[in-house]
Amino acid sequence: MSAQDVTSSAARRRWFITVLLAMVILAVVAGIALSRSRDTEAATGLGTSPTATTSLAAPSVAASDPASAPAATGTQTSRSVPTHKVTTSTAPATTAPAGPSIAYFRVATKPSCPSGTDQVRYEGQPVVLEWKATGADKTTLSVDGPGIYDEYGATGSATLNFPCGGDPGSFQTHTYTLKAIGPDGTKSKTLTVKAKVNEIATT
């Protein structure tokens, strides 16, 4: 084989290797491009869902709370809802002192007038009064008039004779006035007590 033939054969091999390398490189580049194209399509397909979700959620926020929705572009402007602060004031209540009070003033034991005959006489029964006052330092008791019969504490009782007179069958009455006295005033209450006058037979 001549030197020219050897040189020509070597040149063909080099050309063949160059073409083969070029084809391999093109195949690799095409594969990379195809892979990137698939990744781009997959990313684009996944990205459409959040966009759609966001576009659907936006009207819900705007409808539920117009004041808190962000301002849109274009001619739309945001509005703020004015708030009104209401203040109320109450004057301190002033109450006057209640003063003394009589919880009760009543007859504990009813009286009776004398009975029987001129030979056997039964004395009558006295009247027993009882009472209770609050807000009082003391109480006073008056019998048949304004004069003070006696002075007592806020709670007490009294046993009093019940004089009887008048025609048999009539009623004897006596009045008793209780007055509760305290630092913030006085309070009074009057009871009228009666008993039937009995006939004393003469033998």
Domain boundaries, the chain: 1-56, 101-196
pLDDT of residue 99: 87
pLDDT of residue 7: 65
Q: Which of 8-22, 45-59, 121-135, 139-153 has the lowest mean pLDDT?
A: 45-59
Q: Which of 44-53, 71-80, 108-117, 169-178 has the lowest mean pLDDT?
A: 44-53
**101-196 maps to CATH 2.60.40.2470:** yes
Enter the tokens of residue 51. 């966009």
The listed range with the strongest mean pLDDT (5-19, 80-94, 110-124, 131-145) is 131-145
pLDDT of residue 73: 47
Give 153's DSSP letter.
Answer: -
pLDDT of residue 63: 39
Q: Which residues pair with 41 in a beta bridge?
A: none
Tens digit of each residue's pLDDT (9 = 90 or more) over 35-84: 777 766 655 554 444 444 444 444 443 434 444 444 444 445 556 555 65
Q: Is the pLDDT of residue 93 over 70?
A: no
Higher pLDDT: 71 or 193? It is 193
Query: In 3-state terms, the chain is what percent helix, strand and coil (to 5)?
Result: 30, 30, 40
pLDDT of residue 20: 86
pLDDT band of residue 134 (cuts 50, 70, 90) is: very high
User: Of 121, 122, 126, which is closest to residue 111 (Cα–Cα)?
Assistant: 126
Contact 114, 198 (CB under 8 A): yes
